[in-house]
Amino acid sequence: MMYQFDVPVDRHGKSLKWDAPLYEVPNPAQLTPMWIADMDFATPPCVIDAIANRLKHPTMGYFELDDRFYDAVIRWAKVRRGLEDITRENILYQNSTVGAIVAAIQLLTEPGDPVLVHLPNYTGFTYGIADAGRRLVGTPLVQDENGIFRMDLADMEEKIVNENIKCLILCSPHNPTGRVWTLEELQAATALCEKYQVRIISDEVWSDFVYAPAKQIPTAQVSEYARAHTIATYGATKTFNLAGLRIAYSIVYEPELAAAYKKISSCNHYNVPNVLSAEALIGAYEHGEQYVDELVSYIHDNLNYADGYIKAYIPSLASYVPEGTYTMWLSLAGTGRTDEENMLRMAAQGLVANPASDYNGNGWFRLNLACPRSQVDAALDALKAAMEP
């Protein structure tokens, strides 16, 4: 392995995750932050070098994205997702994935309209829908006999009909449950959208974090209807931990939809690229393949390790290894305590994780395992101590 993911990075003073935890811990010296989706690994040299190379030029004035940006996105889509048909015209720059989603909501709906979302849902959908002046309508994911989260197609159809839904936000892979939807699941969901002429916003920012045998399938590839009626959002920010650089992009195949989306995305007059962010994405997508291969393998080992530990030493919790993302969705229902009580217990041990209330749910916590193994050990020990009777 070339990259040293076991080496801790001191992020104090330079990270929201470490400097402003979701909730207060009594003893800051014990702090083990495992909440916000932000990795505790060093940024790979391919990104640092790309930024440093651009800084050799003494000007930072207005600029436009050049062919290198579009070629990098097209190449990454081809080699990492198997997409052969993306052209420059299909790629729309965005400052952030949430910004891209809000612009899509504004395009596909009217103020006050409902937007269908699977519950539990990513927090960005909650405030993005509200900030756009729309209304979130939840359709719950349900666990089957094997504990696998599934879409409830009957509930989706009922909500679409009763609420006159015209827009679905699909998270693929799904945050926070870690599900990677199968082709059959996506076909069923998009067929339902076609039946009622529902347009789709597909958040695929987690697409680089998928563990075999699961395979991420871009929603727009599922059917002709999906191709013509989907706005898909992506970014290098999750994969290369570049959230502070704010850079994302969307893929839209249908020309009229792409033109309308580009126009509404520019209406705030701030959706223009940052010169260093663009260089970071280019460097990542041109030279980051080995890094991502090793990163995904390391995180998958962390997830398996944590799942084994929890099953062996914290029997009151229910865990599973997700098919995608780098977080675990842990059920604390077996503790018999409220989420607030469990959060206070975790805080007392220095552990910070996201409660289900952040995702319009209850009885679960999300644990971020994109960190060195020593930090995973500290988090698991703190979790064990917090859950003891």
The percent of residues above 70 in pLDDT, for the chain, comes to 100
Instruction: Give 137's pLDDT tier (boundaries 50, 70, 90).
Output: very high
> Average pLDDT in the 228-235 region?
98
- Contact status, residue 168 vs residue 195, Cβ threshold 8 Å: no
- Supply the mean pLDDT for the chain: 97
Region 44-51 average pLDDT:
97
In tens, the pLDDT along 277-311 reads 999 999 999 999 999 999 999 999 999 999 999 99
Task: Determine the average pLDDT of the residues in 173-183.
Answer: 98
How far is residue 177's CA from residue 281's CA, in Å, rounded to a whole number? 27
Residue 1's pLDDT band (cuts 50, 70, 90): low
pLDDT digits (tens, 9 = 90+) for 236-271: 999 999 999 999 999 999 999 999 999 999 988 888
Q: Which tokens sit at 12?
A: 């104090």
Closest by CA to 89, choosing from 235, 216, 220, 261, is 261
Distance from C-alpha of 180 to C-alpha of 183, rounded to nearest angstrom: 10
Q: Residue 250: CA atoms inside 13 Å, Cβ hemisphere, count? A: 30
For residues 96 and 99, give the distance between their C-alpha atoms in angstroms, rounded to a whole number. 5
13-31: average pLDDT: 96
In 3D space, the residue among 359, 284, 365, 366 whose CA is nearest the CA of residue 325 turns out to be 366
H helix runs in the chain, sequence order: 16-19, 45-54, 67-81, 97-108, 123-131, 153-163, 183-196, 224-229, 237-240, 255-265, 275-287, 289-313, 339-348, 373-387
In this prediction, residues 189-213 reach a mean pLDDT of 98
* CB atoms inside a 10 Å sphere around CB 150: 14
Architecture of domain 16-44+289-387: Alpha-Beta Complex (3.90)
Domain residue extents for the chain: 16-44+289-387, 59-287
What is the C-alpha separation between 271 and 358, in angstroms, rounded?
Answer: 27
Indicate the CATH number of 59-287 among 1.20.1560.10, 3.40.640.10, 3.30.565.10, 3.50.50.60. Answer: 3.40.640.10
158/193 Cα distance (integer angstroms): 12
